[in-house]
A and B are shown apart, each in its own frame.
Chain A
Amino acid sequence: MFSNYLKNHRFWLLSLACIAMLVAFIRPTQNQPRPIYNVTFIIDITRSMNAADYQLDGQTVSRLEYVKHSLRGLLAKLPCQSKVGLGLFTERRSTLLFEPIEVCQGFNEIDTALAQVDWRMAWAADSRIAIGLLNTLQMLEKLDTHVIFITDGQEAPPVNPRYRSDFAAVKGKAKGMIIGAGGLQAVSIPKFNNKGEPDGFYRPDDVPHRSTFGESDLNPEKIQGYNARNAPFGNDSSLGSEHLTALQESYLQALSAEAGLRYQRLTDAEALAMALQIPEFAGQKLAAVDVRWQMALAALGLVVLVYMRITRKETNN
């Protein structure tokens, strides 16, 4: 009598489906490695970041606007349990607004904070990228987070090559990436009056075009009007193109090599998300992953087979 059931394929299929579902309840999760990120965005908010050389929805937008837009896009792509912190860079150092916050719980908070980032938050002028980067890496060393330093690489005023920042102390310890923002074509930098209203652009005589700090690196005989004490850089009032700004890609690549960081040019949120997907950044954490779907899918397949028209069987009977 029982052999009847054994010959019935539907009986077998339904039994298997039942067993599959029981397995799903017995072992609902499985520990699987999943990529989890812990990054801190440090955004350059110096004046050159106001230069408008990005396109967004057919509109020309400033580098800072575009950086904010891309980071907000990236934020929505990060897997839950990842953490994001935010800081600002200006002058020669950074400030941290908040330590990394979990992205799914704190999505609104991080998103709003990113949207509110403004060049007016800069507490001082100047833009010493190398010094700022070194300072940032040292400041965040204890935090165990990947620093994503976003800048256009425009040092203002220009750096004296004699006094370069020494990254030896952080090289190898610091983990992170420099993101170069801006176009390769030099564009002018918008100027604002003391009420924060647009006031034209910087002109050549608004900015210093060479470093006058410390001693010159050049052969004194070659410097016009050289005087060791009063004019170590000569008396030539040279004009350069420091009132214009372009992404200093080779400089940033050199800096990232010195500091042991990666470099990536900012194109869009998609590319940024791709750039983060390297083993160095994506910490593989064992997370309990819901695997009930595997058993449920098997059960569904089995049930579907029960109700499929299997003509051969039916004509035989």
Chain B
Amino acid sequence: MERWQLCANCARRVWCWNGADVNLAVDTPWWLAGLLLTVLPLFNSGIQPSTYPWLQILPIDPLSQTISVVLRVCAMATMAALVLGLAGLHQTEQTRERIAYGANIVLLLDRSNSMDNTFAGKTPDGANESKATAARRLLSDFVEQRPHDLLGIAEYSTAPLFVLPLTDNKAAIHAAINATATPALAYTHVSKGLSMALDLFKDQPLSGSRIVLLVSDGAAAIDPDSELQLRLAFKRQNIRLYWLFLRTANSPGIFDKPQDPRDDNAGAMPERYLHLFFSSLNIPYQAYQAESPDAMQQAIADINRLERAPLHYRERIPKRDLSGDCYLWATGLLAMLLAVKFFEVKR
């Protein structure tokens, strides 16, 4: 269907022509009213008339008539080109399908208070950075290394925070990662965070692998209601899960078994139980327990290496301004009309 219409997919309202291949649009449609001026050369040849005593004496000359028509068409084209240039003719942003190595990744970041402490569980000083700072630095590098990924960000503390949808806008991702430099919030409510992370994939077409990268320094027991929902959602959404557990010194690890069997419950050992829960999901799952920024870097490099499956993605071709071409054409035609003026003979 080819017609002028309001672009639905454009952020700003412009009128566009949805053709088969090219989508043309103009910035300021009301300039197009200037196209009416192009009828002027139909009534006026633009050539100085010469007076003849008797017109009938002149024979009909097909060549002259052709030249006259050509000149009028050139004049019309000149005006049209100028008007289109003024209206800001451009080719709208388009996408083309590409295949590259990448993935859809949702970063689920823990914003609980303890993330602002070092791996030793202390207030950061000059020599040791906080877990949040280390995470921010390493995740920024990770994002840089993966040009073809679509990334989304969700955060959680007591409540889940939606930050950014899946996007290829790296500047936005960096802005969101940098924003975690602001002080962390309250507690760790991981099940709500997981639900939100899974929600980010909801309207996404199933192409390439879908990854949730959970970066946290603690865990919490998952209540039975959300447990069931999460199980279903993980399965349905076909998720691959990575858990980067930033272990604070002297805190229980995710692989530790308690010495006292009475402590073997989700309340006392939430990290171990969250790991058991993830393992029982029957989805591709990998847990990394990092006890220092170096170990964390190792884990991120590992994920970077593992997640290199081919991904169909749509590459954006930015909008292309055609007004320059319009002006170039107009100038060429003007030069021609001017040149023709030199051949005009005046008696």
Q: Which residues of A contact B (CB under 8 A)?
A: 4-5, 8, 10-11, 14-15, 17-18, 21-22, 24-25, 28, 76, 85, 87-88, 93-102, 104-110, 112-113, 116-118, 120-124, 139, 292-293, 296-297, 299-300, 303-304, 306-309, 314, 317
Q: B85 — which chain A residues lie within 8 A by C-beta?
A: 292-293, 296
Q: Tell me whether A123 and B159 are in contact (CB under 8 A).
A: yes
Q: Tell me whether B40 and A304 are in contact (CB under 8 A).
A: yes
Confirm or deny: B54 has a beta carbon within 8 angstroms of a beta carbon on chain A: no
Q: Tell me whether B344 and A121 are in contact (CB under 8 A).
A: no
Please pick, from B34, B86, B176, B327, the residue contacting A98 in the complex, using a CB distance under 8 A. B176
Cα–Cα distance between A96 and B86 once the two chains are bound (Å): 42
Q: Tell me whether A300 and B341 are in contact (CB under 8 A).
A: no
Cα–Cα distance between A105 and B316 once the two chains are bound (Å): 12
A-B contact pairs, 17 of them (CB 8 A): A14-B337, A85-B175, A95-B161, A96-B182, A97-B164, A98-B163, A99-B178, A105-B171, A105-B172, A108-B11, A109-B165, A112-B165, A121-B161, A296-B330, A297-B86, A304-B79, A306-B46
Please pick, from B175, B178, B334, the residue contacting A299 in the complex, using a CB distance under 8 A. B334
Q: A76-B11, A95-B182, A300-B34 are in contact. Are A5 and B342 (CB under 8 A)?
A: yes
Cα–Cα distance between A116 and B78 once the two chains are bound (Å): 50
Q: A11-B341, A293-B86, A296-B82 are in contact. Are A100 and B175 (CB under 8 A)?
A: yes
Cα–Cα distance between A25 and B323 once the two chains are bound (Å): 12
Cα–Cα distance between A300 and B83 once the two chains are bound (Å): 8
Given pairs A11-B341, A307-B43, 17 additional interface contacts (CB within 8 A): A10-B46, A10-B341, A25-B327, A95-B182, A98-B164, A101-B175, A102-B171, A106-B172, A109-B164, A109-B167, A112-B164, A117-B162, A139-B182, A292-B323, A292-B324, A293-B85, A300-B82
Q: How far is the CB of A50 from chain B (nearest CB, A)?
A: 15
Q: A8-B341, A296-B82, A317-B50 are in contact. Are A99 and B11 (CB under 8 A)?
A: no
Confirm or deny: B41 has a beta carbon within 8 angstroms of a beta carbon on chain A: yes
Cα–Cα distance between A110 and B346 once the two chains are bound (Å): 66
Cα–Cα distance between A97 and B159 once the two chains are bound (Å): 13
User: What string of 1s and 0s marks CB contacts (under 8 Å) between B270-294 and chain A?
Assistant: 0000000000000000000000000
Q: Tell me whether B161 and A97 are in contact (CB under 8 A).
A: yes
Please pick, from B11, B49, B111, B157, the residue contacting A107 in the complex, using a CB distance under 8 A. B11
Cα–Cα distance between A66 and B57 once the two chains are bound (Å): 80
Q: A101-B171, A109-B164 are in contact. Are A299 and B44 (CB under 8 A)?
A: no
Q: B47 — which chain A residues lie within 8 A by C-beta?
A: 10
* Contact-residue bracket for chain B: 35 or more
Q: How far is the CB of B85 from chain A (nearest CB, A)?
A: 5
Confirm or deny: B37 has a beta carbon within 8 angstroms of a beta carbon on chain A: yes
Cα–Cα distance between A124 and B44 once the two chains are bound (Å): 77
Confirm or deny: B236 has a beta carbon within 8 angstroms of a beta carbon on chain A: no
Q: A15 — which chain B residues lie within 8 A by C-beta?
A: 338
Q: Tell me whether B179 and A97 are in contact (CB under 8 A).
A: yes
Q: A108 — which chain B residues lie within 8 A by C-beta?
A: 11, 165, 167
Q: Tell me whether B167 and A296 are in contact (CB under 8 A).
A: no
Cα–Cα distance between A196 and B48 once the two chains are bound (Å): 82
Q: How far is the CB of B165 from chain A (nearest CB, A)?
A: 4
Q: Which residues of B contact A (CB under 8 A)?
A: 11-12, 34, 37, 40-41, 43-44, 46-51, 75, 78-79, 82-83, 85-86, 111, 155, 157-165, 167, 169, 171-172, 175-176, 178-179, 182-183, 185-187, 323-324, 327-328, 330-331, 334-335, 337-338, 341-342, 344, 346
Q: A317 — which chain B residues lie within 8 A by C-beta?
A: 48-51
Q: Tell me whether A97 and B334 are in contact (CB under 8 A).
A: no
Q: Which residue of B lies closest to A103 (CB)?
A: B11
Cα–Cα distance between A293 and B28 once the two chains are bound (Å): 12
Q: Tell me whether B169 and A106 are in contact (CB under 8 A).
A: yes
Q: How far is the CB of B16 from chain A (nearest CB, A)?
A: 17
Q: How far is the CB of B197 from chain A (nearest CB, A)?
A: 13
Q: How far is the CB of A284 from chain B (nearest CB, A)?
A: 22
Cα–Cα distance between A172 and B72 once the two chains are bound (Å): 66
In the A-B complex, the 4 residue pairs with the closest CB atoms:
A116-B162, A98-B176, A107-B11, A307-B40
Q: A314 — which chain B residues lie within 8 A by C-beta?
A: 49
Q: Tell me whether B331 and A95 are in contact (CB under 8 A).
A: no
Q: Which residue of B lies closest to A93 (CB)?
A: B183
Q: B342 — which chain A residues lie within 8 A by C-beta?
A: 5
Cα–Cα distance between A121 and B158 once the two chains are bound (Å): 8
Q: A112 — which chain B residues lie within 8 A by C-beta?
A: 164-165
Q: A307 — which chain B residues lie within 8 A by C-beta?
A: 40-41, 43-44, 46, 75
Q: How far is the CB of B243 from chain A (nearest CB, A)?
A: 22
Q: Tell me whether B331 and A18 are in contact (CB under 8 A).
A: yes
Q: B178 — which chain A residues lie within 8 A by C-beta?
A: 98-99
Q: A309 — which chain B residues lie within 8 A by C-beta?
A: 43-44
Q: Which residue of B lies closest to A22 (CB)?
A: B331
Cα–Cα distance between A243 and B344 once the two chains are bound (Å): 89
Cα–Cα distance between A93 and B183 once the two chains are bound (Å): 10
Cα–Cα distance between A118 and B43 once the two chains are bound (Å): 64
Please pick, from A25, A28, A88, the residue contacting B331 in the complex, using a CB distance under 8 A. A25
Q: B176 — which chain A residues lie within 8 A by C-beta?
A: 97-99
Q: How far is the CB of B179 from chain A (nearest CB, A)?
A: 4
Q: How far is the CB of A122 from chain B (nearest CB, A)?
A: 6
Q: Tell me whether A124 and B327 are in contact (CB under 8 A).
A: no
Q: Tell me whether A303 and B78 are in contact (CB under 8 A).
A: yes
